[in-house]
Amino acid sequence: MSNLNTLKLTDAKKPTQIPQVLQRRNKLIKRIWQQAELARAQQTGTSFSVKKFRSVADVETGGRKQVETDVRVKPWWFVTDNGKLAISVRYGSKVLELGKGKFAVEVGTEKDLVKVLDVIKTAVSAGELDTAIENAATKLREGFTK
């Protein structure tokens, strides 16, 4: 018991639920990470895909089994009308409003994509896009209730 006396004991407990704001931030950060990996793969000429497990019915036994499948990651970046590269941030199927009436970030070249995505990820972690994420989540929920 003398070993425990050398430690600082506390009555802290692990939270059972993460607040909704943090769940949404984490979801968006995960998607931004996927976009950054996709951009890195394009720059090096390789492919990138995300693995996901799906439950499918086994024809022979009639039971269900887990099968690993690839999920296609669609790029968020595009070429604008004036020929410049831009990236829009998506939450689900909704494009986030990054500023008043601004929905995209202009990127210099494809080499700068990862840097811009890292800046966006930092902004999301700091909570700068919480209101935009909340608005997008509300619009997505409204689409399911109609």
pLDDT tens track for 115-133 = 999 999 999 999 999 999 9
Q: How many CB atoms lie within 10 A of CB 115?
A: 13
Question: What value does the mean pLDDT take over residues 96-100?
Answer: 90
Predicted TM-score (pTM) of the model is 0.79
DSSP 47-80: ---EEEEEEEE-TTT--EEEEEEEEPPPP-EEE-
Q: What does the mean pLDDT of the chain come to?
A: 89
Calculate the alpha carbon distances from 133 to 1, 71, 90 in Å. 49, 23, 9
